[in-house]
C-alpha cells in the first residue's frame, strides 16, 4: 500500500478521497489552488499544499505543479479525482516517470481507451453493440457522406471531449454544413484536438452505465448499473440504481457482457461503461470513463463497497480480494447533484458566500459536500456543491426519503437547484421511471418547478 | 508534459455567463483589493508609478511628486478596506516538507497575519527554494530583480523582489520545499519611506510593482 497520497483535485471529491485515505490508514496531502485556500478538504487535511493560482491551467491542470507538490511532500502516489488530469495518459506517463503511482489505469490503458472512436472499435470487437457511427471525419464532404450513410439525425462529437461537452445535434445536411467548421474549432479550443466523428442520435433513450473493477491480475467484477437519464444539456443531474428501465435479467445480462468485453480488451482499475438504451431495450455502448465517477456513491450505497478505497488498492497492486459472487446490489439509491445554478435564469452558475448550511440526515441519507457555513464559492470552477444520496429498500421509499432529505437540506446565500430536484421527484414521468435523457431539455425545467410548487 | 486536456470538471455551464461573472469578479477584485493595496504601496514606497497585471486586467497608478504627508492621508481611509478579507486564516496547519525529509509545521494563521507594511518576495511555484548565493541582509534590490529560484522538477523559476527595497530576514531556508505564493524573503523599504501608518500591503506574486 502507498504511504502518502497527493490529492490533486478540489471540492467534494477531494474530501471523498481524503476520507478513503483515512479509512485505509494512508497519509494524504491536499493540493489546492489559491482560490481553494479555505476549502474544506484543505482545512481537514493533515497536510495541504498550495500548487498555484486560481486558474486551473496553472494549478489543478498543471502537471509540473502537481508532480512537484507530490515530490516535495514525500508522496508516493497521486489521486487525480475526476475531471482535470484524471484521464490524461500523458500526465499518467509523467507521473510514473517520476516514480510515483497514478491512481487510475496505467498510461498504456488510458492511451488505448483515449479515443472514443477507437474504444468503440475495440469493445465492439469484444461483443458490445455500438451506435452506428463514422470514422474520424476528414472534412465536410466526408462528414456529409457519413451522415447520409448513418441516417439523420446525427450527433457531431469531439473525439477528445467528455461529459457531453462540445456535442452538437444535426437534423439534416444543411445543418451539418453550417455547423461543421464551428464544431471543429470548438473542439480545438475546448480540448486541444479538433478530431470529430458522427454518431446516430437516438431520439428517446436512457443513459445507463455499468461500473467495473479489474485488478492487475485479471480479476474482474462488475458492480451493476447506474441510470443517469435525468440530464440537462447532456449533464447528469439525478442518477439512480437499479435502473427502473431494466428487468433483473436485462441488467444482469448487460453487466456481464460489459465486464466480459472490457476485461478481454485488457482494461485495468475502476471504469464505467456508458450505454444508451433505446425504447426497445437495446443497449448501445458509447464510451468508457477511466476514472472515479461523480455518481459513484449510489453504487456504494447498494453494494456496500467503498469504490475509492478499491481504486486505491488496485493502483497499489493489490488483488480485488472479492469475487463477483460477493457483489450484491441491495435496495435502491438515488443521487441528486446539488448545483449552484439558477434554474430561473438559464442555470447561470452562482458564486458567493454560503450563509447557513445544514446537511440532511436520517436513515439511508448520505451527503458528500465540501460546503460549510461561511464558505466562499469560487467562481473559477464548476458549480457542483455536493451530492445528496439516499438509499431505501425500494424505489418508492427512496423517492420519499429523497424528498424528505431535499426539504431538510439548507444552503443559504446562493441559488441552487434543490427545488428543481423536488419538482422532478414529484413528477409522474419520474415516478413511473420513464424519464429519457432529452426530457428536461424538451419541456424545460420551468414546468417541473411550476408543477412542483402547486 | 501532456499536450492536451481531455476534460475539465463536470457540470460547468455556459461559458458566456461564466465570463461575465469573472469580469465582474475582476472588477470587484480590482476595486476591493488591488487598488487600495496599490495605493498603500505607492504611498509607502514613494514609487512614482506602479503597474499591475492580473488575468486580462491591467492597472497603472501614477503619483505626481506628492509630499509624504499627502500620500499618507490618501492611503489612510482605504486601510480597512484593503485589509478586508485578508486576515482570515486557514483553519488547518500546513506542513512544509523539506527536501531532506524533515518537516516544519506552521499554522497558517501565523503566516496569514502580516505586519503592516511588510513586503516579501513570494514563491512563484511549488518546489525547492534556493536563494541567490550572494544574497545578504541589507542588500539593495530593484523591483523585478532575481533574488533566488524555485526548482520545479529540474526547471528553475525565478524568485523576484516585488519592489525596490532592502533584503530583510529570510522566511525560508535554502533547500526548503515551498508552496506557491509562500513568502521567502522579507523586503524592507528604504528607511525614509517606511511610515508606521503605511497600511497593509498585499503583495500577491502576480502583483509586481514597477517604478
A87 at interface of B, judged by CB pairs closer than 8 A:
yes
Task: State which residues form the domain around A177.
Answer: 132-200
Average pLDDT over residues A346-373: 96
Nearest to B100 by CA among B180, B184, B155, B177: B177
pLDDT at A159 (0 to 100): 85
CB-nearest to A52 from B99, B128, B180 is B180
Choosing from A112, A206, A291, A401, the catalytic residue is: A291
Q: How confident is the model at residue B188 (pLDDT cuts 50, 70, 90)?
A: very high
Q: Which residue has the higher pLDDT, B190 or B83?
A: B190
| Measured distance CA(A22)–CA(A12) in Å, rounded | 15
Residues A195 and A209 in one domain: no
pLDDT in tens, B109-157: 334 444 566 899 999 999 999 999 999 999 999 999 999 999 999 999 9
User: Based on the domain organization, do A86 and A143 belong to the same domain?
Assistant: no
Percent of chain A with pLDDT over 90: 85
* CATH assignment of the domain containing A148: 3.30.1490.20
**Residue A91 is part of a domain; what is its CATH number?**
3.40.50.20
Above 0.90 for ipTM, yes or no?
no
> Nearest-CA neighbor of A293 among A123, A104, A96, A88?
A104
pLDDT at B113: 43
For residue A268, the model assigns a pLDDT of 95
Q: Which residue of A has its CA nearest to B106?
A: A47
3-state secondary structure A365-383: EEEEECCCCCCEECCCCCC
Q: Could you tell me which of A119, A381, A182, A85 has the C-alpha nearest to residue B6?
A: A85
Residue A110 lies in a domain: no
Question: In Å, how far is A380's CA from the nearest CA of chain B?
Answer: 8
pLDDT in tens, A153-175: 999 999 887 666 778 999 999 99
Are the Cβ atoms of B6 and A348 closer than 8 angstroms? Answer: no
pLDDT band per the 50, 70, 90 thresholds, residue B63: low
- The domain B15-193 having CATH identifier 3.40.50.300: the answer here is no
Q: What pLDDT does residue B58 have? A: 54
Q: How far apart are CA B177 and CA A185, in angstroms?
A: 41
pLDDT in tens, A271-321: 999 999 988 888 999 899 999 999 999 999 999 999 999 999 999 999 999
Q: Closest Cα of chain B to A187: distance in Å?
A: 10
Higher pLDDT, B32 or A193: A193
- The residue ranges of every structural domain in chain B are 15-193
A22 is catalytic: no
On whether residue A321 sits in a domain, the answer given is yes
Q: B14 to chain A: which residues are within 8 Å by CB?
A: 346-349
**CA distances in angstroms from A234 to A165, A283, B106, listed in the order given:** 8, 18, 45
Structure confidence at residue B62 (pLDDT): 57
Residues A175 and A320 in one domain: no
Total domain count, chain A: 3
pLDDT for res A338: 98
Same domain for A266 and A386, yes or no, is yes
Segment A41-51 mean pLDDT: 97
B/e letters for B180-193, b = 16+ CB within 10 Å, e = fewer, are bbbbbbbbbbeeeb
User: Looking at the structure, do residues A258 and A395 belong to the same domain, yes or no?
Assistant: yes
User: What is the C-alpha separation between A39 and A78, in angstroms, rounded?
Assistant: 19
A176 touches chain B (CB under 8 A): no
Amino acid at each position: 500500500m502507498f504511504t502518502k497520497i497527493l490529492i490533486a483535485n478540489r471540492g467534494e471529491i477531494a474530501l471523498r478521497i481524503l476520507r478513503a485515505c483515512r479509512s485505509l490508514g494512508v497519509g494524504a496531502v491536499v493540493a489546492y489552488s489559491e482560490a481553494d485556500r479555505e476549502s474544506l478538504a484543505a482545512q481537514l487535511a493533515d497536510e495541504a499544499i498550495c500548487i498555484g493560482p486560481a486558474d486551473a491551467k496553472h494549478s489543478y491542470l498543471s502537471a509540473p505543479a502537481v508532480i512537484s507538490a507530490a515530490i516535495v511532500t514525500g508522496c508516493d502516489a497521486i489521486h487525480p479525482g475526476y475531471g482535470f488530469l484524471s484521464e490524461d495518459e500523458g500526465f499518467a506517463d509523467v507521473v510514473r516517470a517520476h516514480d510515483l503511482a497514478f491512481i487510475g489505469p496505467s498510461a498504456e490503458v488510458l492511451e488505448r481507451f483515449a479515443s472514443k472512436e477507437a474504444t468503440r472499435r475495440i469493445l465492439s470487437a469484444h461483443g458490445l453493440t455500438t451506435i452506428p457511427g463514422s470514422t474520424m471525419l476528414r472534412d465536410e464532404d466526408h462528414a456529409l457522406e457519413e451522415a447520409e450513410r448513418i441516417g439523420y439525425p446525427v450527433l457531431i462529437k469531439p473525439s477528445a471531449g467528455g461529459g457531453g461537452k462540445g456535442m452538437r445535434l444535426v437534423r439534416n445536411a444543411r445543418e451539418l454544413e453550417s455547423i461543421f467548421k464551428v464544431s471543429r474549432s470548438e473542439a480545438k479550443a475546448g480540448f486541444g484536438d479538433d478530431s470529430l466523428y458522427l454518431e446516430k442520435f437516438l431520439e428517446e433513450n436512457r443513459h445507463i452505465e455499468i461500473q467495473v473493477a479489474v485488478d492487475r491480475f485479471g480479476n474482474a467484477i462488475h458492480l451493476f448499473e447506474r441510470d443517469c437519464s435525468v440530464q440537462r444539456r447532456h449533464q447528469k443531474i439525478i442518477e439512480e440504481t437499479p435502473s427502473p428501465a431494466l428487468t433483473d435479467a436485462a441488467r444482469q445480462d448487460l453487466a456481464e457482457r460489459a465486464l466480459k468485453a472490457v476485461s478481454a480488451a485488457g482494461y485495468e482499475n475502476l471504469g464505467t461503461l456508458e450505454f444508451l438504451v433505446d425504447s426497445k431495450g437495446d443497449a448501445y455502448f458509447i464510451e468508457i470513463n477511466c476514472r472515479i465517477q461523480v455518481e459513484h456513491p449510489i453504487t456504494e450505497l447498494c453494494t456496500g463497497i467503498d469504490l475509492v478505497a478499491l481504486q486505491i488498492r488496485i493502483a497499489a497492486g493489490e488483488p480485488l480480494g472479492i469475487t463477483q459472487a460477493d457483489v450484491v446490489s441491495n435496495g435502491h439509491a438515488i443521487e441528486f447533484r446539488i448545483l449552484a445554478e439558477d434554474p430561473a435564469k438559464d442555470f447561470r452558475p452562482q458564486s458567493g458566500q454560503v450563509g447557513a448550511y445544514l446537511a440532511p440526515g436520517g436513515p439511508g441519507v448520505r451527503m458528500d459536500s465540501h460546503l460549510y457555513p461561511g464558505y466562499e464559492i469560487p467562481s473559477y470552477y464548476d458549480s457542483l456543491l455536493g451530492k445528496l444520496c439516499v438509499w431505501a429498500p425500494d424505489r418508492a421509499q427512496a423517492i420519499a426519503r429523497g424528498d424528505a432529505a431535499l426539504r431538510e437540506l439548507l444552503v443559504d446565500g446562493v441559488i441552487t437547484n434543490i427545488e428543481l430536484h423536488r419538482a422532478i421527484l414529484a413528477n409522474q414521468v419520474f415516478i413511473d421511471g420513464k424519464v429519457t435523457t432529452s426530457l428536461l431539455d424538451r419541456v424545460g425545467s420551468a414546468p417541473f418547478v411550476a408543477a412542483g410548487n402547486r | 508534459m501532456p499536450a492536451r486536456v481531455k476534460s475539465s470538471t463536470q457540470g460547468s455551464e455556459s461559458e458566456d455567463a461564466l465570463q461575465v461573472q469573472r469580469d465582474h469578479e475582476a472588477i470587484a477584485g480590482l476595486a476591493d483589493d488591488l487598488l487600495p493595496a496599490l495605493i498603500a504601496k505607492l504611498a509607502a514606497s514613494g514609487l512614482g508609478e506602479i503597474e499591475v497585471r492580473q488575468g486580462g486586467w491591467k492597472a497603472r497608478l501614477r503619483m505626481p511628486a506628492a509630499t509624504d504627508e499627502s500620500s499618507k492621508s490618501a492611503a489612510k481611509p482605504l486601510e480597512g478596506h484593503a485589509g478586508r478579507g485578508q486576515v482570515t486564516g486557514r483553519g488547518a496547519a500546513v506542513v512544509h516538507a523539506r527536501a531532506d525529509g524533515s518537516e516544519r509545521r506552521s499554522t497558517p494563521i501565523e503566516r496569514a497575519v502580516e505586519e503592516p507594511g511588510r513586503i516579501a518576495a513570494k514563491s512563484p511555484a511549488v518546489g525547492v527554494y534556493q536563494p541567490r548565493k550572494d544574497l545578504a541582509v541589507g542588500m539593495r534590490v530593484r523591483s523585478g530583480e532575481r533574488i533566488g529560484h524555485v526548482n520545479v522538477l529540474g526547471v528553475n523559476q525565478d524568485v523576484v523582489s516585488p519592489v525596490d527595497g532592502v533584503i530583510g530576514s529570510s522566511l525560508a531556508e535554502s533547500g526548503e520545499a515551498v508552496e506557491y505564493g509562500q513568502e521567502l524573503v522579507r523586503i524592507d523599504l528604504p528607511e525614509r519611506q517606511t511610515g508606521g501608518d503605511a497600511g497593509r500591503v498585499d503583495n500577491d506574486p502576480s502583483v509586481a510593482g514597477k517604478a
